[in-house]
Structure 1
Amino acid sequence: MVPIYILVPLVMLTDAREIAFYIWSNWFKVTLICQYAKHGSWLQIGAIQRCVNYVLQSEIRNWEEKMGQSSVLMLHPSKSPMALLRRLIYQSSQNTKTPTAVKSAIVGALRKGYERGQINGDLASFQRILHLQDEDKIIWTFGERGTAEIMLVCHIATTILGARLPTHQPPAYSEHMSAANHISQYCAYLVAHYPELLPEDDEWCKSLYKAVEKDAKRVLAGNDSMESETSELDYQRRLIQLLSAERNHKVLKDGARLAEQLAEEGEEAAWKALAAFWSEMILYVAPSDNIDGHMEAIARGGELVTLLWALVTHLGIVGRSDNTTDAATVDV
């Protein structure tokens, strides 16, 4: 009976913690305000007024303007004990302040969608084509592949293209580079840790990410010294050669081939195309009917995709023009 006596209080404490966590969440406070405004009779009941005042007195957790960052390619793994411990604690993800370039790119993509007439109650399926912005030249067509798979393919290409960039002089296209890199790693973070906020099956997204990450670690194992022995351009070429090997995961191979094709177009044109692609992609996944998932995100302090979900919902955008739910049809 002793284990039962220990287990029952623990279960009760866990339930009480979950209830308290919900009561003090932003979502509950917003719901309470809506219900309080809707029921005029509550204004006459002092006990209800005191309860509402007590709950609303607590500070509402605002979004800290941070976005999670993850990557399936650990190109610069640190081997210090503290770095290893930090990686275990944060599950290979970290938060960074959302750059202004990211906000500008997303708002710009939304504005362009309206100007082109692509948005009319729904968001167009932007992510199926990657093309150069100035020439409108198609670089890559994704066909009917799932959203998570497309994200990982482009994430790998973006990571390779950004490998070993010079730090002494920021290029003229640094804003495009910053937007593409940050949104790319944020989408990888969503696939790995919060796939319920994406329009695909949760478990399939997680298993796909783990399979690609595992294969990437196998491919890159033993190549840590490569970056110190080669120039930036040779390093990128070596990465493409390693990741595009025939026995690798299809996502790795396609990501490497896409990086190679982007590099041939020139870095400035490539980063401009990637910045546009990623800003349109994050807008594409923003509409959602998964209220519970976004409620939990708000309770944690907010996610960038949750703010975009609220934004596009208020703009009357509640779906996608292709009117399809992405299907997990690729072998993991």
Structure 2
Amino acid sequence: MLAEAREVASCICSNWAKVALICCQLNINKQLLPYPYPTRLQKCCYRHNALRSNNGQLSNGVGFLQDHGGRDFLWACTDGEATSDVILSWHIATSILEAKLHHHHPLSSSSSDNQIIVATHLSRYCAYLVNCWPELLPDDDKWSKSLYDAVTKDSEHGVVKKGVRLGRQLTELKGEEAWSLLAGVWSEMILYVAPSDNLSAHSDAIARGGELITVVWALLMHLGIYKRPRTRPAADANSV
């Protein structure tokens, strides 16, 4: 019993479990995950449709918003200097929505609560990357780190104001609709930032125990997706 409990705990805490949540959100089927991993996670991923890569074009959330009635939120994916400030803006907005709803919305096994888990965990993880592992992100790592420091110290920073504006806009939606939108955007975002040429940074991440983004990076490479689109995401509707 102890051995089985350890196995279950290891499954839940593993990077594979996190990848499975993304798989469920983005309708990725078993062809994406050809390597052995827990059967429960296989069932979670296998029941969905195939990954639609559209010639390998990734999206920072624009694709999901365009396909799911979220065009009013497109500005939050395009009104930014680079990926890091888009991440921080959406992270602030997600935190606002979590603070507003989470205290009177205990988690259960419902699809809405699963979307809350996906959105909040990926939001925190992407913000963590900006702060601690910016070299794994598309932007200049020193610029990303300085941006994070500036945003955390200045409540009047442009990124903070954009995040607050986005948070207010999200609170106007019904709770389930808002969390569905956030889960979709964050799931696309983690795929968008994963492609990287910085092999050294990923090697360092693996040496210290591994990062979720490294797992996603390897999976995308397995599918032949090595780069993000050169055009601005808003100008290219192709997305995962």
Compute the TM-score of the two structures, normalised by the length of structure 2: 0.73
Q: Answer yes or no: is the 8 Å Cα contact 1:132–1:269 preserved in 2.
A: no
Q: Which residue of 2 aligns with 1:200?
A: 139
Alignment of 1:1-332 (within 5 A): 100=17, 103-106=20-23, 108-109=25-26, 111=28, 117-120=52-55, 122-128=56-62, 131=65, 136-141=69-74, 142-143=77-78, 145=80, 146-163=82-99, 165-166=102-103, 169-170=106-107, 172=110, 173-216=112-155, 248-322=156-230
Q: Give the secondary structure class of the aligned counterpart of 1:124.
A: coil
Residue of structure 2 equivalent to 1:14: none
Q: Is the 8 A contact 1:127 1:277 kept in 2?
A: yes
- Write the deviation string for residues 83-111 of structure 1: whole angstroms up to 9, x where unpaired: xxxxxxxxxxxxx7669576323454263
Q: TM-score, normalised by structure 1?
A: 0.54
Aligned residues: 200
- Post-superposition shift, 1:249? 0.8
**1-structure distance, mates of 2:86, 2:146:** 15
Give, in whole Å, the separation in 2 of the partners of 1:304 and 1:200: 18
Whether the 8 Å CA contact 1:130–1:139 is kept in 2: the answer is no
Kept after mapping to 2: 8 A contact 1:129/1:138: no
Q: Which amino acid aligns with 1:263?
A: T
Offset at 1:126? 3.5
Q: Which runs of 5+ in 2 are unaligned?
A: 1-9, 30-48, 233-240
* Separation of aligned partners in 2, 1:116 and 1:168: 32
Deviations 1:211-266 (A, max 9, x none): 000124xxxxxxxxxxxxxxxxxxxxxxxxxxxxxxx1111111111111111011
CA contact (8 A) 1:101 1:175 kept: no
- Could you tell me the percent identity over the aligned residues? 42
- Measure the CA separation in 2 of the matches of 1:179 and 1:154: 14
Letter in 2 for 1:111: I
Asked if the contact 1:132–1:272 (Cα under 8 Å) also holds between the matched residues in 2, the reply is: no
Change (3 A) 1:212 1:126: closer
Question: Take 1:156 and 1:65, find their aligned partners in 2: how far apart are those partners?
Answer: 30
Q: Which amino acid aligns with 2:138?
A: P
Supply the distance in 1 between the matched residues of 2:194 and 2:27 (Cα, whole angstroms). Answer: 12
Which structure features the higher share of helix residues? 2
Could you tell me how far apart the structure 1 residues matched to 2:171 and 2:121 are?
19
> Which of structures 1 and 2 has the bigger CA Rg?
1
In structure 2, how many angstroms separate the alpha carbons of the residues matched to 1:99 and 1:317? Answer: 19
* Structure ranking higher in strand proportion: 1
The gaps in structure 1 that reach 5 residues or longer are 1-63, 67-95, 217-247, 325-332
Q: Quick check: 1:130–1:138 contact (8 Å CA) kept in 2?
A: no
